[in-house]
Amino acid sequence: MRVGITGHRGLPQAVEEQVRALLADQVAEYEGRDLVGISCIADGPDTWWAQTVLDAGGRIEVVVPATEYRDGLPDWHHPEFDDLMKRASDVHRTGLTASTSEAHQAGSEILVGLSDRLIAVWDGQPARGYGGTADVVTYAESVGVPVTIVWPEGTSR
């Protein structure tokens, strides 16, 4: 089973802990199947999903939206990003250079195309900018990829 992830970055610590537990529950649902987690491995849910899949014995594939993507991520995240890149069984690239909203959406569309299912760590609100979580969910639904919303009840970002 190939399961992609999209989600909000910069979540408060209390929400992070709950989301990590919900992602572990999602991995448990796929136990016994060949699980491949597909992620852009940004800080936050992307990385939490990739790590949870690896910890459960699955594989990860990484989608890199742009050549300059890593540079746009927080410096503190670079070691984890680099480690997950090394552990990826496959890396997919958009061919774009600048890490723009358009590149992020292009990467997300590749991710959705590689996925049998998409997990969205999403508060249900509109995207704050093009290529946000809401846009990825809308795209997945438009191409027939089932979406599972994962969001802790009663929390906000």
pLDDT tens figures, 103-156: 999 999 999 999 999 999 999 998 888 899 999 999 999 999 999 999 988 887
Residue 139, pLDDT score: 98
Domains of the chain (ranges; CATH) run 2-149 (3.40.50.450)
How does pLDDT run across 10-20, given as a tens digit for each residue? 998 888 889 99
Q: Which residues pair with 118 in a beta bridge?
A: 4, 147
Average pLDDT over residues 53-78: 97
Task: Flag the least confident range among 39-48, 83-92, 100-109, 145-154.
Answer: 145-154
Whether the pLDDT of residue 32 is over 90: the answer is no
